Structure 1
Amino acid sequence: MEKKNFKNHFIDEDEDIISSVYDKIELCKRIEGTVYTDIFLFPQIWSKLIEIEAELGVLIEAKGLSLESEKKMVAFKSYYSDERVEFPFKLIVVKTNSKFDSLEHRHYLGGILSTGIKREKLGDLIVEGKNCYAIIFDGLFEFLKLNLLSIGRSKVTVEEVGDRDIPQYRFEEKEYLMNSYRLDVIVSALISGSRNEALKMINSSQIMVNYRLKTNKSLTVKKGDVISIRRYGKHIFEGSEGETKKGKIKGKFKKYI
């Protein structure tokens, strides 16, 4: 597949990322081996790669923290290669024994990124109790272990874990009454704030839909869309549960916890 045609499958994505992915596919063909992406890709990219696998002329495998993970590393394997796919990442757990602080997803993420590690080198995170499970590039594990010693006032340790140690994602399900499916209306509901507050957040680039920044207040949110709100977490729109007698929409959402 020519590069121009390849890019046409990813019109809304970052051009540099898509070009890098294409180059890795071409490298895979040239060396007749296995090549891996050097960042974790969002689902709209890795799922499309799997969808067009036959057209690309290579075998494609995507893997993340768990089967349900959104961010995944992708392996491109030549049809002529017998080598086993060995993803260059490590599954880790960040542990704290603090009796006073209750660390959340945002605290762990901020702590890891404060070491200088770039977000794209880190996959999904799952927080369970006083542990945060994550996936990170192989070469960054020792660096993180040496440099992430505390998060806020809490001392932490970083250890490698196996597949079986990774917990399932947990969600909090909620229902909100809304006047429409517009982005500003939905953000207002999710933050339990006014439309003006929602508009300020949208206009100041604090809202992402399906991992892309959105500044169009009238954007229609559809079932399955992922809405990320700075300081308010990530939510999946599960659709409508009908309407009230007064015509309000019963919107159902799942929030990552």
Structure 2
Amino acid sequence: MLSKELYGHFHPDEHHFVDKAWDWVERAAEQHAVKLTDFLDPRQAFILTSLVNRHPDVHCRLDGGYSAAERRRALIAPDYRLLDGEDMAMSVLSVASGDGKFLTLEHGDYMGAILGLGMKRDKVGDIHVIEGGCHCLVTQDAADYLHLNLSQVHKVHVQTELLPLDQLELAQVSLDELTLSVASMRMDGIVSDVFRLSRAKVLTPIQAGRCRVNWKLEEDPSKPLKEGDMVSMQGFGRFKVLEVEGVTKKGRIRVKIGKFA
């Protein structure tokens, strides 16, 4: 059992995952069980790694199909088991169309089409929008279903193909850089400037639990952001604090932001 003090390190909304992850760790230690998870987001991966590090007889491997993957599967096992050569059971779902309409399709269109088939988000890893379509990492137990049933993305008819990991094509990450002059590093102020919303309109989604900082739910509008923080707000997008450039003569802070296109 985890101590009550440990729960204090996690948001109440994360306690269910904490319990599940600790169960995986305990089973690996006490029953010599090996657990391959579905795709975890970076926050879940951090929580799992923190719990694994608390147990001396357990270790884990994280893999999302390529070195810089954001969403990754975890393999949890007793520490005597070698994990490097284990199959992480992933496939690349290639989605393509020959009608040229992919110019208007975005990450969210592909994600919406996949979820619209009843697929759980956990079965899907990173999605790479490339020229002529997308390459999407999926668990092998979901791959055949998606290959057979995904025929349309946002009214565009598509064809799918399952590829090995070594044929994965990565998207070119595009960041729109902007420099802000802010009174402080408070989250609500920076979010309102990035998404061009009033401070009042930003408070509602933040307090409703629609904002995450480094993939962790953040409901405090006054939370100070720092260089390197990744911020997302459901329905608006996400950005990264690239650099805190310094203070102006008028005492305002210059911050360079990278907004994901």
**TM-score range normalised by the length of the shorter chain:** 0.7 to 0.9
CA distance in 1, matches of 2:259, 2:3: 37
- Structure 2 residue aligned with 1:19: 19
| 1:220 correspondence with 2:219 | no
- Partners in 2 of 1:55 and 1:206 — Cα distance? 30
Any idea what the Cα deviations from partners look like across 1:66-100, whole Å, max 9, x if unmatched? 22222211111223436742113322222233424
CA gap 1:129/1:196 in 2 versus in 1, 3 angstroms: farther
Matched, 1:90 2:94: no
Kindly state the Cα deviation for residue 30 of structure 1 after the two structures are TM-superposed: 4.1
Q: When the two structures are aligned, how many residues end up with a matched partner?
A: 255
Alignment of 1:99-248 (within 5 A): 99-101=100-102, 102-164=104-166, 165-167=168-170, 170-177=173-180, 178-248=182-252
TM-score (normalised: structure 2)? 0.83
Cα distance, 1:52 vs structure 2: 6.2
Of residues 123-132 and 160-169 in structure 1, the stretch that sits farther from structure 2 once superposed is: 160-169
Q: What secondary structure sits across from 1:218 in the alignment?
A: coil
**Residue type matched to 1:106 in 2?**
G
Partner of 2:60: 60
Report whether the alignment pairs 1:40 with 2:44: no
* 8 Å CA contact retained: 2:206, 2:219: yes
Q: Indicate if the aligned counterparts of 2:18 and 2:48 stay in contact, CA closer than 8 A.
A: no
Code of the aligned partner of 1:196: A
Rounded to whole Å, the distance in 2 between the matches of 1:123 and 1:81 is: 25
Distance 1:203-1:240 versus aligned 2 partners, 3 A rule: same
- Which moved further from structure 2: 205-214 or 69-78? 205-214
Query: Residue 235 of structure 2: SS of its match in structure 1?
Result: coil
Return the alpha-carbon distance in structure 1 between the equivalents of residues 219 and 51 of structure 2. 30
SS at match of 2:62: strand
Provide the TM-score with structure 1 as the length reference. Answer: 0.84
For structure 2, the residue ranges without an aligned partner over 5 or more in a row are: none
Q: Runs of at least 4 residues of structure 1 off by over 6 A?
A: none
State the Cα RMSD in Å.
2.7
Q: Retained in 2: the 8 A contact 1:6–1:22?
A: no
SS class of match (2:246):
strand
Assess if the C-alpha contact under 8 Å between 1:24 and 1:36 holds in 2: no
- Whole-angstrom CA distance in 1 between matches of 2:204 and 2:10: 28
Q: What secondary structure is seen at the aligned counterpart in 1 of 2:22?
A: helix
Shift of 1:173: 4.3
Structure 1 stretches lacking a partner, 5+ long = none
| Conserved? CA contact 2:21–2:48, under 8 Å | no
In structure 2, the residue matched to 1:3 is 2
Could you say which residue in structure 1 is the equivalent of 2:74? 74
Preserved CA contact (<8 Å) 1:176 1:189: no
